Amino acid sequence: MNQVTVYTTSICPMVKNLLQEQGIPFREVNVQRDAAAARKLVATTGQMGVPQTEMNGQWVIGFDPDAIVEALQKEWGGDWRWQQSLYLYRRLQKR
């Protein structure tokens, strides 16, 4: 089963928004509220900054839509909708 986990804070909605727009289920871990998860995150990736997204062992550090879509394509397949959605997302960001 594909598992996506987003390590985030209360003021970091970008990855969550992207995944929700794509209908991708994910588990959110708020490192502001979970000190043990924050320590584990640093031990695993060497990074404390958020967002960090883990997909079946593959990590994307920061908000990088291209890397997130690439990782999702590896896990869910090369569905054309990812490319179309990323294109639309980028257009909206430029406004």
Per residue in 30-72, pLDDT (tens digit) is 999 999 999 999 999 999 899 999 988 899 999 998 888 888 8
Whole-model pTM: value is 0.78
Decide if 30 contacts 9 (C-beta within 8 A). yes
Rg (CA), the chain: 13
Q: Say which amino acid occupies 51.
A: P
pLDDT mean over 84-93: 62
Tell which CATH classification among 3.30.365.10, 3.40.30.10, 3.50.50.60, 3.40.50.1000 matches the domain 4-94: 3.40.30.10
CA 40 → CA 17, 22, 37, distances in Å? 24, 28, 5
Q: Say which amino acid occupies 30.
A: N
Q: Looking at 16-20, 61-65, 88-92, which range is the least confident one?
A: 88-92
**pLDDT winner (highest mean) among 48-52, 81-85, 86-90:** 48-52
The chain-wide mean pLDDT, for the chain, equals 84
